[in-house]
Structure 1
């Protein structure tokens, strides 16, 4: 325990000790004579599988084994034989001579994360990861554990080979770590399976890279197969243990259903879904044809609906939480006389996100609506301008691209906001200054916002 200058335990450490003492209630029970054995061989052993499913959401199947009651009863003596003895006579030579990876579940009902503080003094090199899950992670998240173990073993072997070749430690890092070790979100997203749509460019590509740098496994989805492949390849280079590219049109319901089934069968359940794919369209309401409306709503709204419905359902059925990010826009709450279709699609995404967040909150699945403002991406160069001829459309595309270029807000900052929003489980995130200002106007001065809408394009 840390000590103050006076030699007294600090209040923080005392609180941590008391907290762990409360979590360790089962250890006290296991020290009672005969009672643990009787409980395990009797009602507790029979009901334990159901208790795990209800409280810890451990999936049903071949666990626990039929021999659990006798196994647990025979193992109860281990606590009585070891815990008190080790507390009374701690071993000064309990030192690991090999690199160690420590994986701690943040929602553990029995063991506090603080219990493992300062373990680095007992190992030559310690890599620590935190998993947002309960106590039985080998059963509930075997995919994540397998990915982290593979990454750790690979890095240890790579370090060992460098040492044998006399190269020393890379970049002065003490211990075998992956490229994701420098990311502030490595402990949160390392090994997670993250799917990003519209990942071929702009915000989607930057988001895929940000998760890759945090050590996540990345699925880059885009209509353009080559762009998706480039994103996946770069993701592997900058830290993703694995990355895949898929060419999918998010507006195609059947294609999305087949894709979701393929991901589930081959890779498991997605931990973070980023519905980012979108297209731009500008023009007055009466110049916007039904076909224009269908095209915008199919991608910007139905693409999000397909992603939430298919991958969100998988998260809910798994019962281990997750997070969905939907890219909306400042246009979702900032009306404009020249963006009726685009603003409507994004406003629908914002409300869908809020409704879904309420529905999934009880299942530990967060939902975030990201609302960028003027971000320097290629959406302006590919946006459609209705009600004008081809030459005028090209001129407006160039002008919009120039305006966004002058603002020059990088997609990388939006990606950073997305990772932060997932980590903090934020609901609505206006990203740029103009997006935050418009959001404040929408909440507190809606009449002023309506006056602005008459002037020209929204953000």
Structure 2
């Protein structure tokens, strides 16, 4: 919505095409006509086809936002190999696919561009409750730093956005491993209420993403808790390790 309001033509990609269409409809109300595409970011071939279709139908994008993500919580030993695969396929491989394919288009065009990768405050903060999720987001942060170093010479900026507690709806679909269905539902309900109580809306993140692209910022913590986590990780990593032991349900 924030980019559309500034005149950008939006291509909204989502595994749930109805959600993509809703996003495109809303974006088109404040900007140029927008487009919806069903894409599974974990599917390498599907992402290759998507990138090719964007190039064919709309040209090389000026800004790519790799934002798809899933939440997962619970003890490490309760995570199965499939759980890890699911989180890494979406949260990390989705970013890899999007960055690789669209950076190649930007380089060939030779006019620069910007890639935005959604990490998390969890990238700074180890937690016994979020082993897979935090690992995936820390990887996104490091990948973004590596890409920024490599692509700078081509005039392509890379920003890692690290939101704190944002009422984005992710909690309603998060998985709490090692729990039965009733406990899963209860965990989602508690998390959703906590995020709503925090009261930080996605629009606040969007404005910081726009600013990150405009100012070519490398790492962008969003919300007070994200800034605090980044600072504490730098000045007192031992304290972060102690906090990581808290069993946040």
In structure 2, the residue matched to 1:416 is 207
Tell me the CA shift for residue 445 of structure 1: 0.8
Residue 235, structure 1, aligned to residue 13, structure 2? no
1:198-217 to structure 2, matched below 5 A, reads 209-217=1-9
Listed as ranges, the gaps of 5+ residues in structure 2 are none
Residue 345, structure 1, aligned to residue 136, structure 2? yes
Q: Deviations over 1:60-99 (max 9, x none)?
A: xxxxxxxxxxxxxxxxxxxxxxxxxxxxxxxxxxxxxxxx
264, 274, 277: which one pairs with 2:65?
Answer: 274
Aligned-partner Cα distance in 2 for 1:388–1:331: 22
1:320 is paired with a residue whose SS is coil
Aligned-partner Cα distance in 2 for 1:457–1:221: 33
1:227 is paired with a residue whose SS is helix
Aligned-partner Cα distance in 1 for 2:184–2:29: 38
In structure 2, the residue matched to 1:5 is none
RMSD between aligned alpha carbons?
0.9
Residue 454, structure 1, aligned to residue 249, structure 2? no
In structure 2, the residue matched to 1:224 is 16
1:217 is paired with a residue whose SS is coil
2:10 is paired with a residue whose SS is strand
1:10-49 to structure 2, matched below 5 A, reads none
1:46-445 to structure 2, matched below 5 A, reads 209-238=1-30, 240-445=31-236
1:220 is paired with a residue whose SS is strand
Aligned-partner Cα distance in 2 for 1:391–1:417: 37
Aligned-partner Cα distance in 1 for 2:94–2:42: 5
Tell me the CA shift for residue 241 of structure 1: 1.6
**Structure with the larger RCO, 1 or 2 (CA within 8 Å, 6+ apart):** 2
Q: Kindly tell me: are residues 343 and 224 of structure 1, through their superposed partners in 2, closer, same or farther at Cα, counting changes over 3 Å?
A: same
Q: Deviations over 1:346-405 (max 9, x none)?
A: 000000000000000111100000000000111101000001111111101100001101
In structure 2, the residue matched to 1:183 is none
Listed as ranges, the gaps of 5+ residues in structure 1 are 1-208
Tell me the CA shift for residue 336 of structure 1: 0.2
- Residues 339 and 457 in structure 1, CA contact (< 8 A), matched pair in contact too: no
Aligned-partner Cα distance in 1 for 2:113–2:248: 36
- Residues 274 and 326 in structure 1, CA contact (< 8 A), matched pair in contact too: yes
1:241 is paired with a residue whose SS is coil
Question: Structure 1: which 4+ aligned runs deviate by more than 4 Å?
Answer: none
Tell me the CA shift for residue 300 of structure 1: 0.2
Q: Kindly tell me: are residues 425 and 296 of structure 1, through their superposed partners in 2, closer, same or farther at Cα, counting changes over 3 Å?
A: same
Aligned-partner Cα distance in 2 for 1:348–1:373: 17
Give the structure-1-normalised TM-score: 0.54
Give the structure-2-normalised TM-score: 0.98
Query: How many residues of Structure 1 are paired with residues of Structure 2 in the alignment?
Result: 249
1:335 is paired with a residue whose SS is coil
Tell me the CA shift for residue 233 of structure 1: 1.1
Q: Deviations over 1:274-294 (max 9, x none)?
A: 000000000111000000000
